[in-house]
Structure 1
Amino acid sequence: MKVFTLGEEVLREKALPVEQIDDTIRSLIERMFVTMKEHNGIGLAGPQVGEKLRLFVVEIDDGVQRVFINPQIIETSAQTSFYEEGCLSIPKVYEDIERPEKIRVQALNEQGRPFTLDADGLLARVIQHEYDHLEGVLFIDRGDPEFKQKTVESFKKRAERRAQKEAEKKAREAKIAAKIAAKNGIKAGAGC
């Protein structure tokens, strides 16, 4: 699956509730776990793979695969802490982000069963990070505004360079195709 990156609209849109948990959703969840692992991530939200749905998957160092469908963070602790965060949608960018140390979240699992989870430490942080994706919020929005601006500008320039290289590639391919067509046209006309 493609992981969408900073600058792509789906990352800034609020995700929609999952209406029905069926085999299509379960297949999406499986593919999200595979994609997350391929990219060495510990969490992945629907919008990050172009699915504007309120669901995310998490697997931290305890090895437990957790699925959160239509989650709601219903409680957060007053105690906060800073921790360096990164994101598969903003590769190779890291920043210390302040978040509540403990949370309580309610969600549905991949079978549609409701559950409530009290989380702290890394698990609480990852859940909050992925939940933000469902709201169209990225971790850089919660940090230093100057750092955010530089990151956004950097990704915009990267996207422009990619678009320019793609346009140049298409132009080269069109030129080669035109030469081949002209050459074939000459051969076809030579026999008349």
Structure 2
Amino acid sequence: MSIRLIVKHPDPVLRERAQEVTKFNANLHKLLDDMADTMYDADGVGLAAPQIGISKRVIVVDVGDEHELIEMVNPEIVLTEGEQLGPEGCLSIPGLQGDVKRANRTVIQGQDRHGKPIQYDSTEFLSRAFQHEIDHLNGVLFIDMAESVYEARKPEEQEPDKDQDQEQDGD
């Protein structure tokens, strides 16, 4: 497993429609392993193969919930419901964030690393992450869809969570 270089905007690979995966072999398994290592090393919650310069329809997502690491090959959104507006950033566009409108619920179908069909019914943050990564496979970046784009704030510059403050005060 290796950490790969993350491609930065405006690299042309980020604007291409990625190619469907047809071979489920050791090369794909290494790609998935490397993508997960790269995502975790960069403190990301998702990564698409084009973000490491590979024009293949492959994503990894880990939003820190009960699903843990999700690997999907040839993912497609088959259902969307509702709406949410929220902030997004991207490992390929460091320093910027934007408010992006997304479906609140999505059903995603694809394949696992062995070619077996898989499906996820997701809501809220996981749904947002899936949509963001699948957009990458179609050459779409969050800045294309954002209602506003602004400089990303560092975690220490963000306002503390009020609920967290209350919990700490009670200890």
Q: Same fold (TM over 0.5)?
A: yes
- Deviation of 1:96 (Å): 1.1
| 2: CA distance, partners of 1:85 / 1:143 | 9
Matched, 1:66 2:70: yes
Letter in 2 for 1:66: I
Q: How does 1:1-192 map to 2 (within 5 A)?
A: 1-62=4-65, 64-77=68-81, 79-144=82-147, 147=149
- Deviation of 1:102 (Å): 0.1
Q: TM-score if structure 2 supplies the norm length?
A: 0.82
The aligned counterpart of 1:160 is: none
- Judge conservation of contact 2:13–2:53 (CA < 8 Å) in 1: yes
Q: CA RMSD in A?
A: 1.5
| 1: CA distance, partners of 2:119 / 2:69 | 16
State the identity %. Answer: 35
Q: Deviations over 1:118-174 (max 9, x none)?
A: 1001110000000000000000100137x49x9xxxxxxxxxxxxxxxxxxxxxxxx
The aligned counterpart of 2:161 is: none
Task: State the SS of the aligned residue for 2:95.
Answer: strand
- Deviation of 1:66 (Å): 0.4
Structure (1/2) with the larger helix percentage: 1
Task: State the SS of the aligned residue for 2:74.
Answer: strand
| 2: CA distance, partners of 1:111 / 1:21 | 6
Letter in 1 for 2:87: E
Moved more, 42-51 or 61-70: 61-70
Q: Which of the pair has more CA radius of gyration?
A: 1
Letter in 2 for 1:41: G
Q: TM-score if structure 1 supplies the norm length?
A: 0.74
List structure 1 runs of 4+ shifted beyond 6 angstroms: none
The aligned counterpart of 2:162 is: none
| 2: CA distance, partners of 1:119 / 1:144 | 23
Consecutive unaligned residues of structure 1, counting only runs of 5 or more, are: 151-192
Letter in 2 for 1:62: D
The aligned counterpart of 1:159 is: none
